[in-house]
Amino acid sequence: MTRHIKVALLAGDGIGPEIVAATRVVLDAAAGRYGLDLVYQEIEIGLAAHAATGSTFPDSAIAAVQTCEAIILGPVSHNTYPPRAKGGLNPSGELRKRLDLYANIRPARTRAMIDPRGGQPLDLVVVRENTEGFYADRNMFSGPGEFMVTEDVAAELCGNLGDGVI
């Protein structure tokens, strides 16, 4: 008996719906190949959700995601969202925090058909804590940031002042 695997599809903004649709085609092919029974639930987030509900990541979205076993999240236009106080929540950040997805795992491996640029084959996995602190690419001179020492140096302080630990 094949078990259903419930997959949340969060299309996002811009090209997100196209990417999620293409991802679904790949998942369907894999499901056919390996005998999986994927059941999809489309969940509206981003600018479309904001227009309908006043939030880019409404509570109904997190409730729906929590009933699924897998999540496909398309790109979102969080830099164009309204302020958080006006419903502009970054869906990827909300998912990380609300589901305690603390590990950002990024594997990198040299492919056999491609000569390694550094001369030696690479097989590396970077694991980054994902629910605290800041993302350097979002704290830059031209965008939001903790503070800028110079145009090319971003600095951030992290801690919990509530318990006296910095």
For the stretch 32-79, pLDDT in tens is: 999 999 999 999 999 999 999 999 999 999 999 999 999 999 999 988
Alpha helix stretches (DSSP H) within 54-141: 59-65, 91-98
Q: Is residue 19 part of a domain?
A: yes
> What is the number of structural domains in the chain?
2
d(Cα 44, Cα 8) in Å, to the nearest integer? 10
| pLDDT tens readout for residues 109-145 | 888 888 888 888 989 898 877 766 555 445 445 444 4
* Amino acid 161: pLDDT: 44
Q: Is residue 15 part of a domain?
A: yes
Domain that holds residue 155: 133-166
State whether 20 and 95 are in the same domain.
yes
* Amino acid 38: pLDDT: 97
| pLDDT tens readout for residues 146-160 | 566 777 776 665 544
State whether 97 and 158 are in the same domain.
no
Q: Is residue 73 part of a domain?
A: yes
State whether 141 and 76 are in the same domain.
no
